[in-house]
Amino acid sequence: MFVRKDRRLKNYNYNGYGPYFITICTDNRQKLFGKIQDDEFIYYSKELENLFKNTYSKIENEFLGVKFNVECTMPDHVHFIVSNASDGKYNLSDIVSRFKNLIYVDYKILVQNKFAPQYVDRFWQRDFYDHIIRNDKEMEDCYNYIDNNPRAASFKILLKKWDREAEIEKQKLKNKNNHK
């Protein structure tokens, strides 16, 4: 029987202030939200972009004391830093669960109205990744990672393209040499 490993830090109060670095991925890394173009993330539609912006605001209004410091949507995942100053009223799982649910419910409506692509099977991966930000240096590192994520993804796309082009050229050269 498969037993899911608990990734939570033992004896840590996840009702505490945080801040936390969060990553949530779509199931099977489906590219549902947009694309990387010229070092920037571009949503598939304005409606999809508004869904994410409105969800952050809804949660901040619903969960008093919760604040999203920075966020980044990518084609198949979302990063954000969230602080929880609710004095233990909400824990991190409550916040992330609400985020995932709000996006999922409204995403289905966008699919029906052809503003977003259809997902296959499940929408979100079951879990999420969290990192407790312990000091200013970690906060700066997490912030920079989120801020630079579209450029890093764009660079990886470019590297893959160069690798494919290099392979094609190698194959052409090999074929040319075999025909001599």
Q: Determine which of 18-22, 26-30, 95-99, 112-116 has the lowest per-residue pLDDT on average.
A: 18-22
Averaged pLDDT for residues 85-91: 87
Across the beta sheet with 20-25, the strand order is: 66-73, 77-84, 20-25, 129-132
pLDDT of residue 155: 47
Length of the chain counted residue by residue: 180
Mean pLDDT of the chain: 84
**At 59, which amino acid appears?**
I
Distance CA 78, CA 32 (A): 11
Query: In whole angstroms, how large is the CA radius of gyration of the chain?
Result: 20
pLDDT of residue 128: 94
Q: What is the pTM of this model?
A: 0.78
Q: Determine which of 65-79, 109-123, 136-150 has the lowest per-residue pLDDT on average.
A: 136-150
